[in-house]
Every structure is written in C-alpha cells, then in structure tokens.
C-alpha cells in the first residue's frame, strides 16, 4: 500500500475508533437533553380579550372579596382582576395563564401597580393547576370551557368558595346570582357542601 494511502486509512480507522469509544457518552448526552426538554406548550383555549374595569369591580363585589380572601383568576390575561383584588380589596391573588406573553405583561402591570407583595402569576394550564387554596375563583372563558372546568372546581375547591364568571355561564349549573354591567352579564356560584 502506498504510504499516503496507508496513513489515510490509519487516520480513518483511528478516528472511527475514537468516535466509537465516545458513542455511549454521545447517546447519554442526547438522552439527557431529551429528558429535560420542556413538554410541548398547549395553545390558549381562547383569544385574550380584557375584562372591562367596571366588570372586574362588579365581579369582585359580587364575590364579596375581602382582605381575608385568596383570589384565583383562571386565564388571567394581563392580570387586571388579580391586581384589582389586591389593590381595592386587599386580597392575596394568583393569576394563571398558559400564554407566557400574558404572564410577562401581568407581572409588569403588578409591578407598576405596586402590588407584587400580594400577587403572583403562574404560567400554566388552568385545567391542571393547583387551586385548592382559593376562596374566590374568577373566570372569563367560554361556556364550554366553564363546563369542562366545573368538575375540577367542585372537586378541588372548599365548600363556600365563590366562583364568578364574566359573560359565560356553566350550562345546567344555575348561578346563585346574576348581574348586568356595561352590557355584560356576571354570574356567581358557590361551591356546595356536598360537592365532593
């Protein structure tokens, strides 16, 4: 074999040998990268339409929110219900939204409103969120989403917890109270003692 061809063959076999030696490590690194990859993010169920401020006030008034309450806004958007609950009623409040852009906006709004000590925003799926500490839950979804959420509300929330929805009802679960403000309907339910 010509010397040049011999050296090329030797180099090729050496490189292959080195690559072969490192193959298990490469596979482990690829598996580790796959294992920590975040799960695919689900798209929001509804487009973001902010609740008018007068409707926000009515929702929180109907729920009789006080400083003793923990308000959860499921699908919190820009955070206005959460921020108002803290600012006007002194409540501790948590907003949950699947859209990272909305969470970023909500955090900026809370900072501007100087209520970051009383509010928190969580990027997540409201259908999977831990909402058990809520004493008030606010919604601005769609009727079909409210109905899908209803079993979770009845299972996870304590009896007496108030649920308030802007514009959309819950099908056959009749509200305890209904009000109109700015051409919008607001519905109030209370988790019954026998819900679980």
* Fold classification of 53-190 (topology level): Rossmann fold (3.40.50)
**What distance lies between CA 12 and its chain's CA centroid?**
54
Looking at residue 182, its pLDDT comes to 85
Looking at residue 4, its pLDDT comes to 46
> Please, which residues bridge with residue 139 across strands?
74, 165
Read off the DSSP letter of residue 123: E
Order the strands of the 119-123 sheet from edge to edge. Answer: 119-123, 92-97, 70-74, 136-139, 162-166, 184-190, 177-181
Distance (Å, whole) CA 178 – CA 81:
18
Distance (Å, whole) CA 94 – CA 134:
9
Ranges of the chain with pLDDT below 70: 1-46, 195-196
Looking at residue 20, its pLDDT comes to 43
Contact at 8 Å (CB) between 63 and 89?
A: no
- Rg of the Cα trace of the chain? 26
Looking at residue 50, its pLDDT comes to 86
Surface-to-core class of residue 72, CB atoms within 10 Å of its CB (0-12 exposed, 13-18 middle, 19+ buried) = buried
The model carries a pTM of: 0.77
Bridging pattern class, strands 92-97 and 136-139: unpaired
């Amino acid at each position: 074999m010509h010397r040049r061809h011999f050296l090329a063959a030797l180099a090729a076999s050496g490189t292959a040998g080195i690559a072969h030696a490192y193959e298990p490590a490469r596979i482990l690194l690829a598996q580790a990268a796959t294992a920590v990859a975040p799960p695919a993010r689900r798209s929001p169920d509804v487009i973001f339409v902010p609740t008018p401020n007068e409707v926000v006030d009515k929702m929180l008034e109907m729920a009789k929110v006080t400083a003793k309450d923990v308000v959860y806004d499921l699908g919190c958007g820009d955070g206005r219900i959460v921020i108002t609950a803290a600012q006007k009623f002194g409540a501790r409040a948590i907003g949950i939204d699947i859209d990272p852009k909305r969470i970023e906006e909500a955090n900026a709004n809370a900072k501007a409103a100087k209520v970051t000590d009383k509010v928190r925003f969580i990027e997540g799926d409201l259908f999977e969120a831990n909402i058990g500490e809520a004493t008030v839950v606010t919604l601005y979804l769609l009727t079909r989403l409210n109905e899908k959420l209803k079993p979770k509300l009845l299972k996870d929330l304590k009896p007496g917890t108030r649920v308030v929805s802007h514009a959309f009802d819950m099908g056959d679960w009749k509200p305890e109270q209904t009000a109109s403000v700015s051409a919008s309907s607001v519905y109030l339910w209370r988790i019954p003692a026998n819900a679980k």
